[in-house]
Structure 1
Amino acid sequence: MMFKKLLIGICFVLLHVNLIAQNIADKIQVRWKLVETVPSKANPVSRLTLVNLTNESLSCQGWSLWFNFMRRIDPKSIDPKFSITHRNGDLYELEFKNTQMQLPAKGTFEIDFVTLGTIPNYTDAPAGLYVLGKEGKSVETISNYVVEPVVFSREQTLQNLSAQYEENTRLELNNKQQLIIPQPLSVKTSPGKFTLTPKTTLWADAILSAEKDYLNEFMKNTFGFSFSSTDKQNASIKLMHNPKLEAEEYSLNITDKQIEIHSSTSTGAFYALQSVKNLIKGDAWGNKLTGLDLPLLSVKDKPRFGYRGVMVDVARNFHNKQSVLKIIDVMAMYKLNTLHLHLNDDEGWRLQIPTLPELTEVGSRRSVEYFNGLALQPGYGSGAKATEQSFYTESDFVEILKYAAKNHINIIPELETPGHARAAIKSMEMRYRKFMAKGNQQEAEKYLLNDFGDQSVYSSAQHWNDNVMNVTMPSTYRFISLVIDEIGEMYRKAGLKMKTIHLGGDEVPRGAWEKSPKIRTLMDSLKITSVHEVWPYYISKVADLCASKNVALAGWEEMGMVNKGKGMETNPALAKKNIQVDVWNNLIGGKQEDLAYKLANAGYKVVFASANNFYLDLAWKNTYTEPGHTWAGFTNIYKSYSFLPSNYYLTVYEDSKGKKVEPSFFDKKEKLTAKGKENLIGIKAAIWTEKVTTGDRLEYMLFPRVLALAERAWRAETDWEKSGTYNKVVLEKEYASFMNKLGNDELKKLAQLNGGYNFRLPAIGVKIMQNNLVLNTEYPGFDVYYAINGSEPKKYDKPIAYDKSKIYKFKVVQGKREGVETVIGLN
């Protein structure tokens, strides 16, 4: 009887613990704040506060708090009553050392810890919080979570706003407005206008008939009317085939009688039509009109680079088909022609591969089920429970390919290998276990990506210790080959051919492969002594694999590099393998500022994805309310616009930490040779999505900075870009002209297209002048409203009398959208 009572008691306790774990999330609030609020302070102190919302004390037994946090935590800095343990990647567990602890009724626990590095803005805050019962028996999401804002003093606020005001005055250097974005090769204007009306007629050569249909569809959807067809002689708009022009080249002539477009391909005609769309005033878009005025001009145009791209990471946080299609529409408007989709990484696999269903069954799901191998662990705020269908089905991808092709955009899929491959590795582990359970070892090992005997110890850039494929195993190459073939089949279903596959190749961490028996066997067979030499072996193998499939190989810069014991350096030996390298690393102060030029000079085809200028996951500026990464500095639209592809050194004035850089800093850096200039085939922007969890945030980070990329990718090199002739004054005057066009016209179009884009609204500058507050904005075409001490908001139209005892609030307003509130307060 005593044993029975004891057993019942134990069961009651276990049930009680489980119920506590299940219900604890509803009974607490979690708050996070920066205790030290000096902007970008090194190793700041953070505070997690657990608040008991109930009138009863809560037991700390049987549960722990889990969260994602991209920064590293110093475990020695934590109150010994608690522990915060790094599990893997960005996942942490907060535990109570004494499980007999009670969180008092209406009471709090404050847990301070030191964060290594910096916390520059709110997007670095812990995310995806959940409560987990011990042994994973229950899980609940923390819904009541607050990231406390950093409150700056009135003096700090005015200092920041004054600096923004001075930066905004760049617009005053030129009141002219660029006619077309991107700037054509040649434009000659004449007085007068040509008016598009429902009576306007249209004709096209047969080879250009698709663009004729495209123009009519655009006019009908945007303005409510289209053009009737007629013969060539009587047409008001003529799309004419001229085989002498290059593939993307066109001419556009608008007189008071007609519009003539000449091109050798539908692509050239398509770009001519984008220029016509660009000439239509932004205020007209979205209105049902009977007449649209165009200026009279003559344009001759072709692009500077054949590769004009954007890379979108859909692996870290998934972005659905509709988001991709919306991005394609804007890319097409501004003559960008390559969309690089980063489809897999450590935190997700996002494309259905029919032969390997585990890739999406496991690799597209992040949840607490990772304990049993049915999912990946939560990451980047994804939370405890998996979001279903976080991948593109085969039909989704075929639709994306077709839509991109219609808009003259090439999709380059990326299969990240051999590092950044954890999603694939864990998926194939699950496949291995499934077939081993059936007793089928041969099938189990067919696509296995890791060696279970590998005891290597490493930590990747994102703090993973198990994310690198083993490149000695035939199954690794079998896996890569199969995935390439199945993606290629999707292209065929779309009526296309996959021309290029991107196989990643970046950031294999130090320590990987060093304690792998299989790697040691390979090294012995090749008579190599350093694990570093395994790297070019792998690159050569995948290059040959791609060549055998008649598919070009692209990869990140490391594909053209080798470590000879002193860090990564250019590897000329593989330049003849026809590898395109995407070079991001020009981190100012990082000693690889000239890497893109070195690789181009060595014979590699280089696409320059300058982290310094075109990593659009970087925060726009150094303010706590501006989202994004900061490891490579800050990137506003001026910094993107001022990138000069053939000699970007000319416009670098500070390093990634904001420290001034003297021009002599680049004297010993390698310059592009004539051969290197031929090998610089393009530029692209990249957006990594660790902090980009929604479609709105994706659009906010991309636009309008992508328009500056389009300008630099298309526009011809000017005389003043070259060493000895560079003129900053000319650059800034042209920037003002570009921004006038962008703010007054193009962003009004993006506010209408596809129901509107969540582009970043301009920052407000505020300065005290003669005891008045004067305001300006980062780009023109937007209204600012203000309120004083809670008054009804008024539109700003003249200086505001300043009184230190009052609170001033300002907002940029664009239609139904409002910018972040700017407050000059009492503190």
Structure 2
Amino acid sequence: MIPRPLTWTPGTGELVLDSGTTLAAPDELSDVLAWLQGALRPATGLPLRQAGHGTITLTLADELGAEAFELEVRAESATVRGGGPAGVFYGCQALVQLLPPQVYRRAPVPGVRWALPAVRVYDAPRFGWRGVMLDVARHFMPKHDVLRFIDLMAMHRLNTLHWHLTDDQGWRLEILRYPRLTEVGAWRHESQVGAVQEAPSDGRPHGGFYTQDDVREIVAYAAQRFITVVPEIESPGHVQAALAAYPQLGVSGRPLEVFTRWGINPNVLNVEESTVDFFTGVLDEVMQLFPSRWIGVGGDECPKDQWRADPRTRQRMAELGVSDEAGLQAWFMRRLDDHLTAAGRRLFGWDEILEGELAPGATIASWRGMTGAVAAARRGHDVVACPDDQVYLDYRQSESPDEPIPVAIPLSVEDVYAFDPVPPQLTPGEARHILGGQANIWTEHADSPRTVDYLAFPRLCAIAEALWSPAERDFSDFERRLPAHLHRLDALGVEYRHADGPRPWQRRPGVPGRPVTREQRAEHIARLVANIRTS
């Protein structure tokens, strides 16, 4: 079973599912019961009707935590008890894993004996934020593939999808009051192929966006699987797609095209009041679509060169009483934060925003190592740990030259399994600010959902266990359980990376990457975090 449960007590015998097997649940668990029926029926071909007293019973238990569950299978029946609907749902995910892996197929599989081994399981998560950041701005992911990814998250008991919706290379969210954001900003005329500065372009248009109806569907689908979707709208950097649609938002005001290259872009927002109003208007529509407590606003990799060189920006700084460009970004972030706070939401931003003064409610995504996590927790901010050297799933998976477009340092399954979101130097009081962690999947070099599969799995299986299970873990035990889990992924059609390396169709021969050593990476990050105050 992945993630590994806290306790596992084998029993005697097994429960065989057949045409007479029934399910039972109270009304408040009707959605979970419907999900379980939908998970079991396609492959088994069994009716699995609802009854007053079911062979498999779902129930609530006040003494358990909201996401905790107990699963008991006996020869004659099975019971899933959870502290809340989410706990029951996770218990149902565990129950499905007890069956042969063919249960994950979507049509009847003849000749399989659908038997649950007798067992008693108790489980509960270590962290409340168990997430994945999925970038759909660099390469658009069609709606049905997003829904599939959500199902894969739910299978691994991940509960937060940080959805990176806008960047220099594309604006993916329909905003009704500003239609050009998708009419213009959702499309670029070509894409860079490779990770080096001199890499060629493919000459092929790329684009796409989600309508507001699409978003409502995705958010509701995720909620049925107890996954919160946290949107991210980048600012004040990584905004060239918005500038292409509305040039007046930029420092120069000159027309631009949607960016076709990767890397940090010098074009940033101006800091006029009208630009603040524009983005708070965007956030108003975002908040209507996403009920998440957190709303992401970016704040990362914002070059200050245009602000430094622009006379109007210097004048604006004087008007605002801001002494330097870092303070100017902090002012912009604070305006968005005030707007979100007034609406009862919380700002969620990358650790660069720690370089200025933040409102007390801001939550930090610590990506440049764990320095941001330490600094934020010590300053009283909640933290989601996502250090690039541990959980960036776009990074190469080995030293092999066959890795497709190899980027940065190698991160193996064993490397990511060792992830712990809590920095050891924090006191117990400071550590309470660590909400949990997430893996990040950037898609500059992942131009299809099957490439996302290759980058994510099975590393995401390991990260899911790291976020769910206790801090004391045994990789050899995980490695022993993983092959059985890979059969489940096979049944689902997940094109994961095999332990012996990429298959021929997963390689990208001739496309240059940007591999670095851990020493080079450490030196680079040390320079980037030099401005973060740690106390």
TM-score bin, normalised by smaller chain: 0.7 to 0.9
**1:615 maps onto 2:433 in alignment:** no
TM-score, normalised to structure 2, is 0.86
**1:605 maps onto 2:406 in alignment:** no
CA contact (8 A) 1:366 1:384 kept: no
**1:489 maps onto 2:272 in alignment:** no
CA 484–642 in structure 1, closer or farther in 2 if over 3 Å, else same? same
C-alpha displacement of 1:739: 2.2
Aligned match of 1:513: 307
**1:579 maps onto 2:362 in alignment:** yes
User: Greater RCO between the two (CA within 8 Å, min separation 6)?
Assistant: 2
- Cα distance between partner residues in 1 of 2:37 and 2:322: 63
Show structure 1 runs of 5+ residues with no match: 1-179, 369-378, 430-447, 455-459, 492-496, 563-572, 587-592, 649-670, 719-730, 765-810, 823-827
Which of 201, 216, 231 aligns to 1:398? It is 216
C-alpha displacement of 1:283: 5.2
Aligned match of 2:277: 478
SS of the equivalent of 1:752 reads helix
C-alpha displacement of 1:231: 2.0
Letter in 2 for 1:469: L
Show structure 2 runs of 5+ residues with no match: 191-197, 255-260, 510-535
SS of the equivalent of 1:513 reads helix
**1:322 maps onto 2:122 in alignment:** no
**1:288 maps onto 2:110 in alignment:** yes
CA contact (8 A) 1:316 1:380 kept: no
Aligned match of 1:99: none
- Cα distance between partner residues in 2 of 1:461 and 1:365: 15
Aligned match of 2:77: 258
- Cα distance between partner residues in 2 of 1:818 and 1:452: 44
Aligned match of 1:739: 479
CA contact (8 A) 2:251 2:306 kept: no
SS of the equivalent of 2:209 reads coil
Letter in 2 for 1:577: P
C-alpha displacement of 1:819: 7.3
The structure with more radius of gyration: 1
**1:342 maps onto 2:173 in alignment:** no
Q: What do you get for the CA RMSD once the two structures are aligned?
A: 2.6
- Cα distance between partner residues in 2 of 1:380 and 1:348: 20
- Cα distance between partner residues in 2 of 1:535 and 1:524: 14
Aligned match of 2:527: none
- Cα distance between partner residues in 1 of 2:91 and 2:377: 31
Aligned match of 1:165: none
CA contact (8 A) 1:285 1:748 kept: no
Aligned match of 1:760: 497
SS of the equivalent of 2:316 reads helix
CA 550–761 in structure 1, closer or farther in 2 if over 3 Å, else same? same
- Cα distance between partner residues in 2 of 1:608 and 1:244: 30
- Cα distance between partner residues in 2 of 1:270 and 1:748: 22
Aligned match of 1:750: 489
- Cα distance between partner residues in 2 of 1:231 and 1:641: 43
C-alpha displacement of 1:187: 2.1
CA contact (8 A) 2:235 2:298 kept: yes
Counterpart mapping for 1:19-30 below 5 A: none
CA 528–344 in structure 1, closer or farther in 2 if over 3 Å, else same? closer
**1:679 maps onto 2:473 in alignment:** no
CA contact (8 A) 2:131 2:439 kept: yes
Which of 384, 405, 413 aligns to 1:637? It is 413
CA contact (8 A) 1:207 1:265 kept: no
CA contact (8 A) 1:461 1:509 kept: no
Counterpart mapping for 1:25-104 below 5 A: none
Listed one character per residue, the Cα deviations across residues 394-447 of structure 1 (whole Å, up to 9, x for unaligned) are 222222112111111111111000011111112112xxxxxxxxxxxxxxxxxx
Letter in 2 for 1:697: T
CA 618–694 in structure 1, closer or farther in 2 if over 3 Å, else same? same
CA 282–581 in structure 1, closer or farther in 2 if over 3 Å, else same? same
CA 256–645 in structure 1, closer or farther in 2 if over 3 Å, else same? same
SS of the equivalent of 2:432 reads helix
Letter in 2 for 1:317: H
SS of the equivalent of 2:59 reads strand
Which of 171, 178, 191 aligns to 2:12? It is 191
Listed one character per residue, the Cα deviations across residues 544-583 of structure 1 (whole Å, up to 9, x for unaligned) are 0111222221011112223xxxxxxxxxx52x52011101
SS of the equivalent of 2:215 reads helix
CA contact (8 A) 2:294 2:347 kept: yes
Which protein has the bigger strand share?
1
TM-score, normalised to structure 1, is 0.57
SS of the equivalent of 1:414 reads strand
Segment of structure 1 superposing worse, 308-317 or 482-491: 482-491
CA 367–453 in structure 1, closer or farther in 2 if over 3 Å, else same? closer
Letter in 2 for 1:541: R
Letter in 2 for 1:452: S
- Cα distance between partner residues in 1 of 2:352 and 2:346: 17
Counterpart mapping for 1:361-376 below 5 A: 361-367=183-189
- Cα distance between partner residues in 2 of 1:412 and 1:221: 31
Q: Percent identity?
A: 31
Aligned match of 1:270: 89
C-alpha displacement of 1:380: 8.5
Listed one character per residue, the Cα deviations across residues 241-278 of structure 1 (whole Å, up to 9, x for unaligned) are 22332221211111222211112322111100001112
C-alpha displacement of 1:464: 2.7
Letter in 1 for 2:13: G
- Cα distance between partner residues in 2 of 1:325 and 1:380: 32
Listed one character per residue, the Cα deviations across residues 21-75 of structure 1 (whole Å, up to 9, x for unaligned) are xxxxxxxxxxxxxxxxxxxxxxxxxxxxxxxxxxxxxxxxxxxxxxxxxxxxxxx
Counterpart mapping for 1:409-488 below 5 A: 409-429=227-247, 448-452=248-252, 462-466=263-267, 468-471=268-271, 473-488=272-287
Letter in 1 for 2:381: Y
C-alpha displacement of 1:511: 2.1
- Cα distance between partner residues in 1 of 2:202 and 2:320: 46
- Cα distance between partner residues in 2 of 1:517 and 1:546: 30
Listed one character per residue, the Cα deviations across residues 185-227 of structure 1 (whole Å, up to 9, x for unaligned) are 2222223322222222221111111111111111111221132
SS of the equivalent of 2:63 reads coil
CA contact (8 A) 1:418 1:505 kept: yes
Aligned match of 1:543: 337
Letter in 1 for 2:490: A
CA 464–228 in structure 1, closer or farther in 2 if over 3 Å, else same? closer
C-alpha displacement of 1:619: 0.7
CA contact (8 A) 2:185 2:242 kept: yes
Letter in 2 for 1:520: R
